Amino acid sequence: MSNNISIKSALISVFHKDGLAPIVKKLNDLGVTIYSTGGTEKFINDLGIKVVAIEDVTDYPSILGGRVKTLHPKVFGGILNRQHHEGDKGEMEAYKIPQLDLVIVDLYPFEKTVASDAKEQDIIEKIDIGGISLIRAAAKNFADTFCVSSMEDYNEFLEILSENNGTTTLAHRKHFAAKAFNISSHYDTAIFNYFNSDHNIASLKFSERNGKVLRYGENPHQKGFFYGNFDELFKQLHGKEISYNNLLDIDAAVNLIEEFSDTAIAILKHNNACGLAVRSKLLDAWKDALAGDPVSAFGGVLITNRKVDKETAEEINKLFFEVIIAPAYNKEALEILKSKKNRIILIKKDAALPKKQFRSLLNGVLVQDKDLKTEQKEHMQAVTKKRPSEQQYKDLAFANILVKHSKSNAIVLAKNMQLIASGVGQTSRVDALKHAIEKAKSFNFDLKDAVMASDAFFPFADSVEIANKEGIDAVIQPGGSIRDKDSIEYCDKNGMAMVFTGIRHFKH
């Protein structure tokens, strides 16, 4: 028995009609009987193509303001019947149920309606009932029924129709059934998450229909995938395919640069900033960012919040780097940066980032709110006799942003809105500080009047003592240690300023 089925009848009822006309015309050319409802029926009629109204099959009009149109045994029987099952064939004949070989149905735009800040009643009306039922029915019965559930699949389906003269294979139907269940499960997830926005039901449902196979994962022996709409956030102008590790660095870079409104440029390596400066001119910001660690900058990811000009591009182009991200580039700058074939050049679009973070571990998933707190001068409590100067307050806020975006344990040293050095990912805070001091000295930075930021409290006074001996004059930390008094007393005896924020910024 052949698994091929020749399409002789179709039910078409869609919200999105773009791209539908060529399919309808092809079906008509193939002599397919077309059934439809409402706006789609009118659309087909306007094409000059004969269409049978579903009401003529069910003997029921569309009722309840359009909420009930296709929910009827004569519709679902035509979709769900097993064409080689004698019992089903007998019932189809007895109840005069028309065979439906093809179902083209899509869903009301629920997610778009939610995103538009519509009223709740408008959102509720966009919860599709008939459409989702038709899709599930047709996909379940893929052995006998072909289901097209999205306008995204119109072109592929039209190719199948044209190349096979209206005949479909079991492989075709099963493939489109998988697409249909992908659509329906994603739709139900969006509805659940809307109703569970306050998280009263402790259930995690996450769905992302945009997926991409990466060259590999973190290492070449690992498989890697990215699930998300990268093109919603960026436009790639040049360069090779983006890798798993590129994506990690791009994510870290974007989250960091979002913290700055003044002209800034950052260099990241392995998700940590190795250079960052804020200046009135982008070229000066670049030079000072690079000076922070010109060694680690090699092969890094660059990001700025300003349009890249020719002058800056010429200097940037002297460095080998993997990725550059900016809101725009002038023509000359872009030509300069394109001189390296594999260099990834991205335009960052103005799009909102998610406010939740997910992390797989053990046999489950951790979910948390993103760390969106950023402390400025008004959030800082001076706990020492000496107060920071106005410039130091600016530097403390700058350093605190950087330490927030660095792997714990983390210490950041800054001066005049420039990252001087950082110690990141250390198992002790003292080691992080010593590493930062060593790096700063290796690049000939003068630590006198520099400031220090810590992502968590100092358990002992040893860190402020080490910092003081190197000339560091002001400190920002969350506070909260049972030995805070020891650090405060040391600062007071040695003329240091220290502020507490009350906010810890661990990043693991």
With 0-12 / 13-18 / 19 or more C-beta atoms within 10 angstroms meaning exposed / middle / buried, residue 298 is middle
Chain-centroid distance, C-alpha 303: 18
Q: 140 an active-site residue?
A: yes
Catalytic residue among 25, 89, 270, 441: 270
Q: Are 411 and 420 in contact (CB under 8 A)?
A: no
Q: What is the DSSP string of 186-215?
A: HHHHHHHHHHTTT--S---------EEE-S
- Cα distance between residue 259 and residue 376, in whole Å: 11
Distances (CA, A) of 255 to 78, 269, 428: 52, 14, 25
- Cα distance between residue 101 and residue 7, in whole Å: 5
DSSP H helices, 317-428, are 331-337, 390-404
- Cα distance between residue 286 and residue 201, in whole Å: 48
Tokens of residue 431, six digits:
């080691």
Q: Which of 73, 105, 107, 112 is nearest to 92 (CA)?
A: 73
Catalytic residue among 140, 238, 379, 434: 140
- Cα distance between residue 47 and residue 23, in whole Å: 12
Q: Are 293 and 281 in contact (CB under 8 A)?
A: no
The catalytic site residues sit at 140, 270
